[in-house]
Chain A
Amino acid sequence: MTESTNPATIERVALTEAAADLIRQLVAAHGPVMFHQSGGCCDGSAPMCYPKGMFRTGQQDVLLEELAIDGVDEPAPFYMSASQYALWKHTHITVDVVQGRGSGFSLEAPEGKRFLIRSRIFSDDEYRSLVDAGVLTA
């Protein structure tokens, strides 16, 4: 796992090495990137990767993590809509990558790759730490 910084005390989003590699490749081609977790049909329920600023986040989005990647200057922020995050908050997520074809407007599609979320349930201790840090309500 690549090290990542976090506004909270407990990491909420991680990257696999394969995802970090792909981000390095995308940043080299397109400049700094960001993620927004999608919901809904077709290519949804998957993270979308954009040139930073292409997708305008707003008051209904939660910044889960600033993903730091070795060899990349700017961390990649990972956002999710607040309504969706309310349903995800008990899970730690890891951005992985698989072979794929197509993905909304996400940057990696032409590479024949697709970012994918893997999840695990936070332990009670982790969850409590997030609540204590004011990131989550109990």
Chain B
Amino acid sequence: MTVYARPGAEGSVVSYESRYDHYIGGRYVPPAKGQYFENPTPITGQTFCEVARGTSEDVDAAVDAGWKAFATWGKTSPTERANILNKIADRIEENLEAIAVAECYENGKAVRECLAADIPLAADHFRYFAGALRAQEGGISELDGDTVAYHYHEPLGVVGQIIPWNFPILMAVWKLAPALAAGNCVVLKPAEQTPASIHLLLSFIEDLIPPGVLNIVNGFGIEAGAPLASHPRIRKIAFTGETTTGRLIMQYASENLIPVTLELGGKSPNVFFEDVAREKDAFYDKALEGFAFFALNQGEVCTCPSRALIASSIYDGFIADGLDRVAKVKQGNPLDTDTMIGAQASNDQLEKILSYIDIGKQEGAELLTGGERVDLGGDLSGGYYVQPTVFKGQNRMRVFQEEIFGPVVSVTTFDGFDEAIEIANDTLYGLGAGVWSRDGAQLYRAGRAIEAGRVWSNTYHQYPAHAAFGGYKQSGIGRENHKMMLDHYQQTKNLLVSYAEGPMGFF
């Protein structure tokens, strides 16, 4: 067990600056209007730094810087860009502990997740897109003996990216790596809940990236995010967040006729078929972990398995064992490597979760465990902690239909395959899903029948590069985490070339 010292405290592996400006054109510049906002840690609720409060003037400057850099960056060879991405990955690995502790402190998540998942995955993501880029080829179509169509990949130009707060670094990297690999310049707006950790990452990699290729404008959505999303000189906008803002992003994109990629969340079913409980073996143990995964990252994951569908024939035993497993989820100081569930990212997030627990009770859902805010004592009392919470109820209840984005799972039962699929698909969303069975054919059929972009089968919550991630239905548009994301950041240039000696003969 290790308890990391808080960033900036004596013995800490990392320190934040007291203030972060915008990063535009390869240097830090103060916000045009001179305003800053406070950045608290959800671990204690105390402010630890202040961050530039950007406005449209800052966004304009960042877009300008991006286009200036694009003149050369857009023409770099894939080799050159891939080498830079690989070097970025190396730097992240060399500084993994510092970046992990910094992310933990800003977001409130358990540091062991940052150490074992978020930051290693971020490094790997850069390597994946470096590799994907090197292996990417255009195409040649022979149209006739004298005529050839060549297809080239070209970057889009300057693109906008709006990043969520639940994985402040990994979600930024999911968007940055393919965009930079493809030769674009980026204006990135971090979430105002987690605006600083991306700057800390930047401090380790800044010298590797040519000025203007990556620009970071901080600020609030209404003041900095909307001007970026609606900017007439961006060529694409990528957003992870919720549906109303997603619609606004599309509205702006329609005005500028630019493409969007959107990841808007879900209400992911986690389906446990009868044969899961046939034996109390390692597989059963694995399935119980899969059930308890709703608490991973405090439930602040777009694919949180927040609906557990359990075969009614095994319900009693499975839920008893599942609750047992949930009881072993250790809650505490996020900087303690033994801690499994940390703090919710903000006070309003905490309040929203508690309001959903309230409506769940009112709707008649049975509270099986949890349901309360947690006071961890000392200065952690100012932090935002919630007990892992399990409801039993019916799928049409609001706690089964709305993304709570907290450590809350709503459990129901099903009889037979068809009812399992019917319940699983009775949702507005289709981002993630889990299915658990010892029968490979059943596993396959369920995975194909569920309307979701990612169906974890006998596993959950793995996010490796090289596996496409994105939503069906209202969960969004596009696929991240995979080389197909390169396409989302590229134009196709077709050169249609005639090698014929004479005229076509029409005129």
Contact = CB atoms under 8 A, between A and B. Distances in A.
B348 A100 contact: yes
Given A56-B251, A83-B474, A40 B352 contact: no
A109 B363 contact: no
Contacts of B396: 87
Contacts of A44: 241-244, 264-265, 403, 405
Contact of B246 (A40, A83, A106): A40
Interface stretch (B219-227, B373-381, B445-453, B477-485): B219-227
Q: In the complex, which range does the number of interface residues on chain B fall in?
A: 35 or more
B398 to A, nearest CB: 6
B398 A119 contact: yes
Interface in A26-52: 36-46, 48, 50
Interface in B310-357: 346-348, 351-352, 355-356
Contacts of B266: 40-41
A104 interface: yes
B433 to A, nearest CB: 15
B244 A38 contact: yes
Contacts of A88: 398
Contacts of B240: 41-42
Cβ-closest 9 pairs across A and B: A41-B265, A44-B242, A100-B348, A40-B265, A38-B244, A114-B348, A104-B245, A40-B242, A102-B192
B272 interface: no
15 contacts: A36-B244, A40-B241, A40-B429, A41-B166, A41-B266, A42-B302, A44-B242, A46-B352, A48-B244, A81-B243, A83-B474, A87-B402, A98-B348, A101-B347, A104-B244
B240 to A, nearest CB: 7
B456 interface: no
B165 interface: yes
Interface residues of chain A: helix, strand, loop or mixed (majority): mixed
Nearest to A61: B247
B348 A103 contact: yes
A45 B428 contact: no
B242 A109 contact: no
A42 B242 contact: yes
A41 to B, nearest CB: 3
A102 B163 CA distance: 12
A48 B265 CA distance: 16
Interface in B18-55: 37, 40, 53
B358 interface: yes
A43 B166 CA distance: 10
B355 A118 contact: yes
Interface string B225-246: 1100000000000001111111
Given A41-B302, A42-B165, A105 B226 contact: yes
Interface string A57-100: 00000000000000000000000010110011001000000111
In this complex, the member of A36, A45, A83, A100 whose beta carbon has the largest number of chain B beta carbons within 10 angstroms is A45
Contact of B241 (A43, A98, A121): A43
Given A45-B352, A119-B355, A39 B223 contact: no
Nearest to A88: B398
Contact of A41 (B247, B398, B403): B403
Given A45-B405, A101-B40, A105-B222, 13 more contacts: A36-B244, A39-B243, A41-B263, A41-B405, A44-B242, A44-B264, A87-B402, A105-B226, A105-B248, A107-B222, A110-B53, A110-B223, A121-B363
In this complex, the member of B245, B346, B363 whose beta carbon has the largest number of chain A beta carbons within 10 angstroms is B245
A120 B358 CA distance: 9
Interface residues of A, number: 41
B242 A117 contact: no
B387 interface: no
A88 to B, nearest CB: 7
Interface of B: 37, 40, 53, 164-166, 191-193, 220-223, 225-226, 240-248, 251, 263-266, 302, 346-348, 351-352, 355-356, 358-359, 362-363, 396, 398, 401-405, 428-429, 474-475
Contacts of B191: 42, 102
A116 interface: yes
Contacts of B248: 54-55, 104-105
Nearest to A108: B222
A40 B398 contact: no
A40 B244 CA distance: 9
Contact of A119 (B40, B226, B264, B359): B359
In this complex, the member of A54, A87, A91, A99 whose beta carbon has the largest number of chain B beta carbons within 10 angstroms is A87
A99 to B, nearest CB: 5
Given A46-B352, A105-B226, A107-B222, A41 B242 contact: yes
A40 B359 contact: no
Nearest to A46: B352
B351 A116 contact: yes
Contacts of A105: 221-222, 225-226, 245, 248
Contact of B403 (A39, A48, A54): A39
Given A101-B346, A102-B221, A121-B363, A45 B244 contact: no
Contact of A39 (B225, B226, B428): B428
Contacts of A119: 355, 358-359, 362, 398
A42 B405 contact: yes
Contacts of B223: 110
A91 B356 CA distance: 12
A119 B402 CA distance: 13
Given A44-B241, A44-B243, A87-B401, A109 B40 contact: no
Contacts of A98: 347-348, 351
Contacts of A81: 243
A38 B401 CA distance: 13
Contacts of A38: 242-245
A121 B166 CA distance: 31
